[in-house]
Amino acid sequence: MLKIENLHVSVGDKPILKGINLEIKTGEIHAIMGPNGSGKSTLSHVLSGKAGYEITQGSITYQGKDLTDMPPEIRAREGIFLAFQYPVEIPGVSNIYLLKAALNAVRKHHGQPEVDAMDFLTLVKHKVKMLEMDEKFLYRAVNEGFSGGEKKRNEILQMAILEPKLCILDETDSGLDIDALRIVTDGVNSLRSTERGFLMITHYQRLLDYIKPDVVHVLAQGKIVKSGGPELALELEAKGYSWLETNQVAA
């Protein structure tokens, strides 16, 4: 569903990604690990269409479509969802309003009528319960005054409502305590399906104990330096990133 070929990305004059190749098939879960500054977040931003990044070489193809010039909202409506590392607070816009606006935008994009108000409420309440959230959160402003864990849960709530095809989780585990991590990862696991692909970006192996990936990639200095099975994450945890970075230089 997603094919990244020889992707080079710069911010200003500074090259960040230097030739990424990655293919995610439906039903697969890929994890990208790497040290700080390796380009993990840049990759998630480029995939979701954030401004300020220049693709200097290579291509991104999603479901047979070229993503390069697609505006972020069209990517989102086409089924790409980014769960933010730092979800943004939007004072004055209620959570439930944004959920409904987002869902209706997706439906409109696919030529479907707007969601019935009652059906929508039933759906939302069901998902809220699943994520062990208080219904009050629905009527509060988006992420405003939420704790770190609440913000992350809210991201997964949005994901659960929108049912995207490609879920990109950017450091979803950061800032979560063990209980919140379990709730969030349960939420993610409930969305696992043969119709859906996942790209998980994480600094630590811990998340992968909860969500088992099919493939693990290691990103360093803007390149994927190693790919393997889940055991690669454990190896990294044991040896540290420096092991790979020196390897990379030697190679």
Instruction: Find the shortest distance in angstroms from Cβ 155 to other proteins.
Output: 10
Please provide the DSSP assignment of 90-131 as one string.
EEEEEHHHHHHHHHHHHHHHTTPPPPPHHHHHHHHHHHHHHT
Query: Is 101 among the residues that bind other proteins (CB under 8 A)?
Result: yes
Q: Is the dihedral of CA 94, 95, 96, 97 positive or negative?
A: positive
Could you say whether residue 117 binds other proteins (CB under 8 A)? Answer: no
C-alpha span between 90 and 170 (Å, rounded): 19
Per CB under 8 A, 145 contacts other proteins: no
Q: Is 59 within 8 Å of 68 (Cβ atoms)?
A: yes
Q: Is residue 102 within 8 Å of residue 162, measured between CB atoms? A: yes
Q: State in angstroms the smallest separation of the CB of 158 from other proteins.
A: 6
The residue from 25, 37, 91, 242 that contacts other proteins (CB under 8 A) is: 91
Our finding on whether 67 is near other proteins (CB under 8 A) is no
Please say which residue, 100 or 226, places its beta carbon nearer to other proteins: 100
Owner of token pair 């939007």: 90
Q: Does 63 bind other proteins (CB under 8 A)?
A: no
127: its two tokens: 């998902």
- Binder of other proteins out of 51, 118, 178, 250 (CB under 8 A): 51
Stretch that binds other proteins, among 16-24, 94-102, 180-188, 235-243 (CB under 8 A): 94-102
Q: Please identify which residue in 2, 106, 200, 207 interacts with other proteins, judged by CB under 8 A.
A: 106
Minimum distance, C-beta of residue 209 to other proteins, in the bound complex (Å): 28
Our separate counts of H helices and E strands in the chain read: 10, 12
Residue among 106 and 233 whose Cβ is closer to other proteins: 106
How many C-beta atoms lie closer than 10 Å to residue 6's C-beta? 12
The 3-state DSSP class for residue 166 equals strand
Binding site for other proteins (CB under 8 A): 48-51, 71-73, 76-77, 81-82, 84, 87-88, 90-94, 97-98, 101-103, 105-106, 109, 141, 158, 162
